[in-house]
DNA sequence: GTGTATGCAAACCGTTTGCACCTCT
DNA sequence: AGAGGTGCAAACGGTTTGCATACAC
């Protein structure tokens, strides 16, 4: 599953190498270890989990190095960081994987990915109007999934009917979008 | 500027009151002070700044209370939280203010708001496909603004020409929507 | 009067930093 | 050889929590 074709590993490695050289940074084994660990990971991973996995794989690294290396990988676009919540920064390999957005279940924290081309045009339009050079975007949709293994499966039975009342308010406001 | 019509203040106050009563929570002056302070604030504000302003206004509050109250206000949808960066959680009044998205300058941290109806349909489509009940979304676009008072004004000197590819998207249009 | 909110300060947790040692170039 | 990176642990900063007191109900 997580076995990545050697070719791809070499590819990202050499990209990283080139980047480091251009920046006059050292090519240390730790840095490449971090790179590979991320690319061996299909889904999103946070810094600490990355640290743990590296240790498990026998690589002696410190958290400082992990964070440091992540920063470099972000700068050369080999890795993307997603800030999902207050304390939920997750990292993900980025090279030759399509840009996507996220759908998050607020009950089970399950993560889904989707992609809609319209976002690209929205981005271009916004860049144009505001005279911005947009580097990247982050679109997260939060809600409740309706899967059986999700805590929310029982539906909005009693949990917080408390705010179901003001939901009407919200709903009302939401319906007429033209209000702007 | 920040003088809100008394009517609107009363409106949100009574919504909050109803919410507190339904939840069997006390209606304390501190809680209403937090509510009003947020609604007196046009733009985004972080928890600490809120705390400082409350103190300035003569309200004796603790950070704990601010956070506690913010949580309540989030739950009744009177306030929205935006997580912009790692340590950049900002709050904003939400009642009867239209949902918008954000454009952030990575150099000067300036914030712009925009709204595109296509997002609504994207949201509905995603909800449909993934069988989700989507509660809200958060779309942030990050980039470099091209304003004179922005540190980035000096342009891409040497920083990282590595990813200059997508720079072509940036355009030197004439329309200027910039406000505050 | 009762139980919940508050203020204060200490704890918390992910992230960053300072320092002495190590290693890639 | 020496600039630069590393590991470690302590510092950091926004947020949360525990506890004694105060106050809304």
CATH at B79: 1.10.10.10
Task: Say yes or no for a CB contact (<8 Å) between A127 and B170.
Answer: yes
What pLDDT was estimated at residue B176?
32
Q: How many domains in chain A?
A: 2
Cα distance between residue A174 and residue A163, in whole Å: 16
What percent of chain A shows pLDDT beyond 90?
Answer: 57
> What value does the mean pLDDT take over residues A74-90?
89
What pLDDT was estimated at residue B134?
93
What pLDDT was estimated at residue B155?
46
What pLDDT was estimated at residue A172?
30
Alpha helix stretches (DSSP H) within chain A: 6-22, 29-40, 47-56, 63-75, 117-130, 164-175
Cα A65 to Cα A35, A46, A77, A93, B35, distances in angstroms: 12, 14, 18, 18, 43
Q: Kindly list the residues from chain B whose CB atom is less than 8 angstroms away from the CB atom of residue A124.
A: 169
What Rg do the C-alpha atoms of chain B give, in angstroms?
Answer: 20
Which residue among B54, B77, B97 closes a domain?
B97
Task: Say yes or no for a CB contact (<8 Å) between B133 and A144.
Answer: yes
Helices B29-40 and B63-75: crossing angle, nearest 10°? 70
Contacts of the segment A62-71: beta carbons below 8 A, 24+ positions apart? A65/A30, A65/A31, A65/A34, A66/A34, A69/A30, A69/A31, A69/A34, A69/A35, A70/A34
B166: left (phi over 0), alpha (psi -120 to 50) or beta: alpha
CATH classification of the domain holding B112? 3.30.1490.190
Instruction: Provide the mean pLDDT of chain A.
Output: 81
pLDDT digits (tens, 9 = 90+) for A24-65: 999 999 999 999 999 999 889 999 999 999 999 999 999 999
What is the nearest CA distance from A138 to chain B, expressed in angstroms?
5
What pLDDT was estimated at residue A44?
92
Which residue among A97, A120, A146 closes a domain?
A97
Q: Kindly list the residues from chain B whose CB atom is less than 8 angstroms away from the CB atom of residue A105.
A: 132
Q: Quick check: B83 CB within 7 A of strand C?
A: no
| Containing structural domain, residue A108 | 98-180
Window from A17-26, A84-93, A105-114, A162-171 with minimum mean pLDDT: A162-171
CB B105 within 8 A of CB A132: yes
Binding residue per annotation — B115?
no
**Are residue A122 and residue A55 in the same domain, yes or no?**
no
Cβ neighbours, 10 Å, residue B154? 8
**Are residue B39 and residue B79 in the same domain, yes or no?**
yes
**Are residue A123 and residue A152 in the same domain, yes or no?**
yes
What pLDDT was estimated at residue A146?
81
Q: Enumerate the nucleotides of strand C whose atoms come under 7 Å of any protein CB.
A: 4-10, 13-18, 23-25
Give residues lining strand D (CB < 7 Å).
A 24-26, 28, 30-31, 60-65, 68-69, 86; B 20, 26-29, 46-48, 63-64, 67-68, 71, 87, 89
Report whether pLDDT(B177) > 60. Answer: no
**Are residue A2 and residue A82 in the same domain, yes or no?**
yes
- SS3 percent helix, strand, coil of chain A, rounded to 5, is 45, 20, 35
**Are residue A174 and residue A138 in the same domain, yes or no?**
yes
Q: How confident is the model at residue B151 (pLDDT cuts 50, 70, 90)?
A: low
Nearest C-alpha neighbor of B53 from the set B95, B91, B22 = B91
**Are residue A92 and residue A3 in the same domain, yes or no?**
yes
Cα distance between residue B37 and residue B66, in whole Å: 11
Phi first, then psi: what are they for A84, rounded to 5°?
-85, -45
pTM above 0.85, yes or no: no
Which residue among B78, B97, B116 closes a domain?
B97
As given in the structure block, the two tokens for residue A25 are 């940074």
Cα distance between residue A47 and residue A70, in whole Å: 8
Q: Which chain B residue is nearest to residue A127, measuring alpha carbons?
A: B170
As given in the structure block, the two tokens for residue A158 are 């009693």
* Highest-pLDDT range among A3-12, B95-104, B117-126: B117-126
pLDDT digits (tens, 9 = 90+) for A120-158: 999 999 999 999 999 889 999 999 888 777 765 544 433
Nearest C-alpha neighbor of A16 from the set A68, A53, A69 = A69
What pLDDT was estimated at residue B156?
43
**Are residue B20 and residue B84 in the same domain, yes or no?**
yes
Query: Residue A10 CA to C16 C1' — how many Å?
Result: 31
Cα distance between residue B43 and residue B15, in whole Å: 21
Phi first, then psi: what are they for A162, rounded to 5°?
-55, -45
Binding residue per annotation — A156?
no
Q: Quick check: B60 CB within 7 A of strand C?
A: yes
**Are residue B71 and residue B121 in the same domain, yes or no?**
no
Cβ neighbours, 10 Å, residue B73? 25
Cα B129 to Cα A151, A161, B50, B126, distances in angstroms: 20, 27, 40, 5
Report whether pLDDT(B165) > 60. Answer: no
Q: Does A67 touch chain B (CB under 8 A)?
A: no
Task: Say yes or no for a CB contact (<8 Å) between A141 and B141.
Answer: no
Q: Kindly list the residues from chain B whose CB atom is less than 8 angstroms away from the CB atom of residue A127.
A: 141, 143, 169-171
What pLDDT was estimated at residue B157?
39
Binding residue per annotation — A145?
yes
Report whether pLDDT(B163) > 50. Answer: no
> Mutating which of B139, B142, B175 best tests the A interface, going by the most A Cβ atoms within 10 A?
B139
Binding residue per annotation — B150?
yes
Binding residue per annotation — A76?
no
Q: How confident is the model at residue B48 (pLDDT cuts 50, 70, 90)?
A: very high
Task: Say yes or no for a CB contact (<8 Å) between B19 and A135.
Answer: no
Please tell me which residue, A178 or B89, carries the higher pLDDT value. B89
> What value does the mean pLDDT take over residues B10-39?
95
As given in the structure block, the two tokens for residue A131 are 């005279």
**Are residue B164 and residue B78 in the same domain, yes or no?**
no
| A145, HSE (Cβ side, Cα atoms, 13 Å) | 19
**Are residue A33 and residue A57 in the same domain, yes or no?**
yes
**Are residue B107 and residue B92 in the same domain, yes or no?**
no
**Are residue A107 and residue A62 in the same domain, yes or no?**
no
What pLDDT was estimated at residue A84?
87
């Amino acid at each position: 599953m997580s076995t990545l074709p050697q070719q791809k590993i070499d590819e990202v490695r050499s990209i990283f190498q080139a980047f480091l050289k251009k920046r006059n940074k050292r090519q240390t084994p730790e840095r490449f270890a971090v790179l590979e660990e991320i690319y061996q990971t299909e889904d999103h991973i946070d810094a600490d989990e990355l640290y743990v996995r590296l240790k498990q794989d026998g690589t002696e690294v410190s958290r400082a190095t992990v964070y440091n290396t992540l920063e470099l990988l972000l700068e050369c676009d080999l890795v993307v960081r997603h800030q999902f919540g207050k304390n939920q920064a997750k990292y993900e390999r980025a090279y030759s994987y399509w840009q996507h957005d996220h759908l998050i279940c607020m009950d089970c924290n399950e993560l889904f990915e989707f992609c809609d081309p319209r976002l690209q045009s929205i981005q271009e339009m916004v860049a144009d109007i505001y005279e911005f050079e947009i580097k990247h975007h982050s679109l997260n949709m939060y809600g409740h999934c309706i899967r059986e293994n999700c805590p929310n499966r029982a539906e909005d039975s009693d949990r917080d009917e408390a705010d179901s009342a003001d939901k009407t308010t919200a709903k009302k406001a939401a319906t007429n979008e033209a209000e702007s």
